[in-house]
Chains A and B, each alone.
Chain A
Amino acid sequence: MDNLIWIFVSALLINNFTLSYFLGLCPFLGVSGKLETAFRLGLANIFVMLITAACAYILNTWVLVYAPYLRLISFIIVIASSVQFVEMAMKKLSPDLFRALGIFLPLITTNCAILGLALFSTNKGYGFIEGMVYALGAGGGVTLALVLLAGVREETKILDIPNVIRGTAINLIIAGIISMAFMGFAGLFST
């Protein structure tokens, strides 16, 4: 149990996917203009990551032991198609959930955070439960980073900032400052 909490907190705060591995930066900078959109994108991310962790576990246990060189190709194809499949099922079974998350799903299906999650949990040799907890932590971390950045960005819109630094430049510097704050979590658990 201790181990699971450690995996969760580590992925959520200490080794945050966005702020210390730089994964999933394209949506991080692209969709973080409004707080509400950012939060929903984050939830969609958690959702896709859970599917990914399940797929990665199944592939690693039953398929890739025979053909390790197919790892990348099979991860991408299996993850993309199962997300598509779940999306169709969701549209049918729960239209509300689909309306909230649906438009983001194709956007994040093969972004680097998703593939990164599959690769990292493979490298760390996580089992099924550990993988799911890792996915939950990583997705929560991405959501946290998105919401924090979106909050600050909403404020910068009404501030008096020089024109040259507007746009991606200021967003990156804000992200840098948030990332610096997150480094403070590094000593949270002493082993």
Chain B
Amino acid sequence: MSKPENSNQNAHEFLKGLWDENPVFVAVLGMCPALAVTNTAINSLAMGLATTFVLVCSSILVSLLKSVIPKQVRITAYIIIIATFVTVVDFLLAAFTPAVHKELGAFIALIVVNCLILGRQEAFASKNTVGLSILDALGMSAGFTFAMLCIGIPREILGSGSLFDVLLFGDGFEPWVVMILPPGGFFMLGFLLLGFNWYSQKKKERELMKKN
């Protein structure tokens, strides 16, 4: 989808998170929130945006402070930075959208231990400039939000017959309740990963065919 860094690095840093290195589908990181709060599309979107905020802010701060933080305590320093921004987003959501905050509950606080965020600080923001880190963080969180919606939208449609709280089907629709319950999360992500594997396998086969 995107070209290697030499031609257009900025676009590459942004686009890789969306597809080639998608945090949920390819790296299988950040699974707890991806499954726990994706029972409706709105919750998925809110979780995606909250994670975006935390990831972008901590990437900026980490890439600014990278020369100041001693190497031995860097992980602790990253966690403190991340926890600070999660506290901020927790209070922001509680103040402006109390309903969503109540739905997501402790899972907002659990953004701290989302491996995706710590992983990006360690692998990218601590080694690159502020500009590139912002692009990387935006791309990764866009990929995360995209994945959350990929799981959340079908779960809400199948499980309660609605999308963003708008009813889609008439009265005759019998909701497939298991999809909004915990097992539905496991099934949906399992089937999405299956589709993803199948697609990349097909792509590889096609490339092999071309070569021969």
**Contact B187–A173 (Cβ < 8 Å):** yes
Number of interface residues of A (CB under 8 A): 40
CB distance from B113 to the nearest CB of A (A): 5
**Contact A164–B201 (Cβ < 8 Å):** yes
Give every chain B residue within 8 A of A24 (Cβ-Cβ): 32
Number of interface residues of B (CB under 8 A): 38
- Given contacts A22-B32, A25-B35, A116-B106, whether A76 and B182 have CB atoms under 8 Å apart is no
- Given contacts A22-B35, A173-B190, whether A116 and B182 have CB atoms under 8 Å apart is no
Q: Which chain B residue shows the least CB distance to A30?
A: B28
Bound Cα distance from A164 to B113, whole angstroms: 30
**Contact A22–B190 (Cβ < 8 Å):** no
Main secondary structure of the interface of B (DSSP, over half): helix
B residues in contact (CB < 8 Å) with A: 28, 31-32, 35-36, 76, 79-80, 83-84, 86-87, 90-91, 105-106, 109-110, 112-115, 178, 181-187, 189-191, 193-194, 197-198, 201
Q: List 24 A-B contacts (CB under 8 A).
A: A19-B182, A20-B182, A23-B110, A25-B31, A26-B31, A29-B31, A72-B112, A76-B113, A77-B79, A80-B76, A110-B113, A111-B113, A116-B110, A119-B110, A164-B201, A167-B197, A168-B28, A168-B190, A171-B190, A173-B187, A173-B190, A176-B183, A176-B190, A183-B183
